[in-house]
Amino acid sequence: MARTKLRNSLIASIVLALAALPSLAGVLPQPQDDPVLTVSGAIGVKSGKGGAIFDRALLESIGLRTLRTSTAWTTGVRTFEGVLVRDLLNRVEAKGTHVTATALNDYSIEIPLSDFQEFDVLLALRMDGRDLMPRDKGPIWIVYPRDQNAELQDARYDSRWVWQLNSLTIH
């Protein structure tokens, strides 16, 4: 009797553990809070018909990184915290050559996926320890490591710093 209970408990634990890994089945967990980012297009892992939908917690679960760099829009060196774009793209199994990044105000730009492999480009969620909000370029700001790479101090790359980012479409 005790052995059966133990076995059933073990089986239940294994089932729960497997349920916690939905991306293995090509599906991401559903956001539990307000969505901040949708990734669509040529991706292998989705959370709904519109693509992969992320709230802050789901983005942060990918793994937070810190980047200290100056920007063309702020003074001095700032500390950004967020998720590497390449880690997000790996998480959704992105396949393609470029991404269209779109902001809340409908600004959009195409960015080569090679940028995210070559540089530690961040989807910044925080600046100087504070969550980014729409009034200060949030909820997500694409931030390039411009101080670490002189070639990134160029208008061509500055146009790729999308603030108020809300969607990425992989092509």
Residue 4: band (very low, low, confident or very high) from pLDDT cuts 50, 70, 90: low
For 25-63, the pLDDT digits (tens) are 578 888 999 999 999 999 999 887 779 999 999 999 999
Cis peptide before 139 (omega within 30 of 0): yes
- The arithmetic mean of pLDDT across residues 86-95, rounded, is 97
Q: Determine the distance from the C-alpha atom of residue 76 to the mean position of all C-alpha atoms in its chain, rounded to a whole number.
A: 25
What pLDDT does residue 2 have? Answer: 58
The one-letter amino acid code at 157 reads Y
Q: List the alpha helices (DSSP H) in the chain.
A: 2-19, 56-60, 85-91, 113-118, 155-158
**CA distance from start to end of the chain:** 57
* Token pair for 61: 């679960």
Break the chain into its structural domains and give their ranges.
26-170
The dotted CATH code for 26-170 is 3.90.420.10
pTM for the model: 0.83
- The arithmetic mean of pLDDT across residues 146-170, rounded, is 95
Mean predicted lDDT score pLDDT of the chain: 89
